[in-house]
Amino acid sequence: MNEDLFKKIIEISGRNPNLCYQCGMCTVVCPINQYMDLKPHVIIRYVQLKSIDFKKLSSVWKCVSCMACVDRCPRDVGPGVIFEAIRSLVLRKGIDAVDYNKLVDFEKTPSMALIALSRKMTG
Ligand code: SF4
Ligand code: SF4
């Protein structure tokens, strides 16, 4: 990740990842952290270090945008908002990690999951 990308994340999200002191609260309150390869606080650390390839990062697409981490972050970093910014930047490059056609049973999918999915399709 280059400096420009880092600045864009800050610009879009309105948050400063550098304020994170790695308390881990965001990961504790995240309802789907067990499905993430990298936990929310770890991703924020990578963002601080500017050392991650977001195109290969599946966790930001698994985030359901519940914003529990945003509510509980003591440093007002809010990984959920940072993840939205990252998804937007990836989508603007024409890379989409979401495909409705791969849903096995549309009718039985919880509406919250569908709404979360739709939000990830808007860059
Ligand atoms: S809750 Fe906030 S300060 Fe704590 S690890 Fe997560 S992003 Fe960092
Ligand atoms: S917004 Fe995303 S990362 Fe934050 S708690 Fe909800 S699902 Fe987890």
pLDDT by 10s per residue, the chain, length 123: 678 888 999 999 999 999 999 999 999 999 999 999 999 999 999 999 988 777 778 888 889 889 999 999 999 999 999 999 998 888 887 776 667 677 777 777 777 777 777 766 665
Q: Around 22, how many Cα atoms within 13 Å sit in the side-chain half-sphere?
A: 7
Q: What is the CATH number of the domain that holds 14?
A: 1.10.1060
Quote the ligand 1 centre to 73 CA distance (angstroms): 5
**Residue among 13, 29, 41, 45 whose CB has most ligand 1 atoms within 8 A, to mutate:** 41
The count of domains in the chain is 1
50: containing domain: 3-122
Please return the burial class of 99, using the count of CB atoms within 10 Å of its CB with bins 0-12, 13-18 and 19+.
exposed
Distances (CA, A) of 93 to 19, 37, 72, 89: 28, 23, 31, 7
Task: Give me the pLDDT at residue 33, please.
Answer: 93
Task: Give me the pLDDT at residue 79, please.
Answer: 96
Task: Give me the pLDDT at residue 75, please.
Answer: 97
Instruction: Give residues (CB < 6 A) around ligand 1.
Output: 20-26, 41, 44, 73-75, 77, 79
Task: Give me the pLDDT at residue 115, please.
Answer: 72
Task: Give me the pLDDT at residue 1, please.
Answer: 66
Quote the ligand 2 centre to 56 CA distance (angstroms): 18
**Residue among 13, 83, 117, 120 whose CB has most ligand 2 atoms within 8 A, to mutate:** 83
